[in-house]
Amino acid sequence: MTPFLRTPWQHVAFVVGTLLAASAASAGTAATPAPTAEHRLAERILPTIGYTPRALFVGEVHGTEQAVAVFANIVQEYADNGEQFIVGLELPPSEEELVNRFLESSDDEVAAARRAMLASAFWQRPATVNDGRASIAMVQLLEYLRALRQNQGSAFEQAVCFQSGTDEAAAQRLQAALAWYPGAKLLTLSGNVHAMKKRPDGAAPALPAYFATEGSFTIDVRTNGGAAWQCRAGGKCGLASLPRPAGRKPPCDRCLVLDDALENFDAIYSIATPATASRPASELVSPR
């Protein structure tokens, strides 16, 4: 068995790179590059928070490498602590069966399970209508989750694909999963508008509002400008520039910032460097 690498992102990069290469060789797909070491967490977040939240919501701008890497590191931290957990992803519920079949696949089954998962219309959607969720970084995250389950024997139970018409309906899917695993924690990655603890006046509640009794914590991942693959006004999807914070420098690099003045989130995960766009998964060689 491969020895476990204790630095979180070293482990993420190693298992993702190894598994992607193996999958590519057996499935005839192009290997995606493992995220680089510059994406690793500068520090663990749970000591900064001071406790282990039952329901943790990570908000992102879709279509970057960095936000997905931050989420993977947080998952690793929960696994290192021996927590039982489920992962919520803002993917269509129609993908859930294929995603979990891949995550649960044995080494003999992984190539076929990966092909079946990536052959779906969601992952193969044209780049011009891809909003950044069906990205190469998301494929890497799923590869990492499977490797975590296989190599570390963690208590990662399942992935829940919770994209719905409303956040209330999405919350119901996530709550049903928590009810099935009553001792488990919930870790979710979604667009930041869905991860807000408080939305502007008049707007419907976001996901965390439905987990008040469980105890929720919300984090917004913020970079120093850069680029993302996303859809803009008018429905045009593609590479887009992200603005730098106006008039201020990021407070720190790759660290969690708690600020009582924040209205929409409990904390910010600050990245002082520009974001790197993660291109559409459809640009991988066809999995068929």
CA 107 – CA 23 distance, rounded (Å): 10
Which of 85-99, 126-140, 246-260 is predicted least confidently? 246-260
- Amino acid (one-letter) located at 74: I
Task: Give the model confidence (pLDDT) of 183-200 as tens digits.
Answer: 999 999 999 999 999 887
**Residue 151: band (very low, low, confident or very high) from pLDDT cuts 50, 70, 90:** confident
As given in the structure block, the two tokens for residue 245 are 């914070």
Q: What is the mean pLDDT of the chain?
A: 84
Sign of the dihedral defined by the CA atoms of residues 44, 45, 51, 54, in that order: negative
Report residue 81 CA to chain centroid gap: 19
Better pLDDT: 5 or 135? 135
Average pLDDT over residues 216-233: 94
CA 38 – CA 192 distance, rounded (Å): 23
CA 184 – CA 135 distance, rounded (Å): 28
Tell me: pLDDT of 208 over 50: yes
Average pLDDT over residues 125-130: 92
Residue 286: predicted pLDDT = 53
Tell me: pLDDT of 265 over 50: yes
Domains of the chain: residue spans and CATH = 8-229+238-283 (3.40.50)
Average pLDDT over residues 17-29: 36
Of 87, 122, 111, residue with least CA distance to 19? 111
Tell me: pLDDT of 279 over 60: yes
**Residue 41: band (very low, low, confident or very high) from pLDDT cuts 50, 70, 90:** low
Residues contacting residue 98 through CB under 8 Å, at least 6 positions apart: 113, 116, 117, 120
> How buried is 165 (Cβ within 10 angstroms: 0-12 exposed, 13-18 middle, 19+ buried)?
exposed
Residue 198: predicted pLDDT = 86
Task: Give the model confidence (pLDDT) of 84-112 as tens digits.
Answer: 999 999 999 999 999 999 999 999 999 99
**Residue 25: band (very low, low, confident or very high) from pLDDT cuts 50, 70, 90:** very low
Residue 285: predicted pLDDT = 57
**Residue 218: band (very low, low, confident or very high) from pLDDT cuts 50, 70, 90:** very high
Per cent of the chain over pLDDT 70 is 82
Average pLDDT over residues 158-168: 93
Helix axes 96-103, 110-118, angle to 10 degrees: 160
**Residue 6: band (very low, low, confident or very high) from pLDDT cuts 50, 70, 90:** very low
Task: Give the model confidence (pLDDT) of 225-238 as tens digits.
Answer: 999 999 988 888 99
Please provide residue 103's backbone torsions phi and psi, each rounded to the nearest 5 degrees.
-60, -30
Tell me: pLDDT of 15 over 50: no
As given in the structure block, the two tokens for residue 78 are 């929960």
> How buried is 155 (Cβ within 10 angstroms: 0-12 exposed, 13-18 middle, 19+ buried)?
middle
CA 16 – CA 19 distance, rounded (Å): 5
Please provide residue 59's backbone torsions phi and psi, each rounded to the nearest 5 degrees.
-100, 140
Better pLDDT: 114 or 22? 114
**Residue 167: band (very low, low, confident or very high) from pLDDT cuts 50, 70, 90:** very high
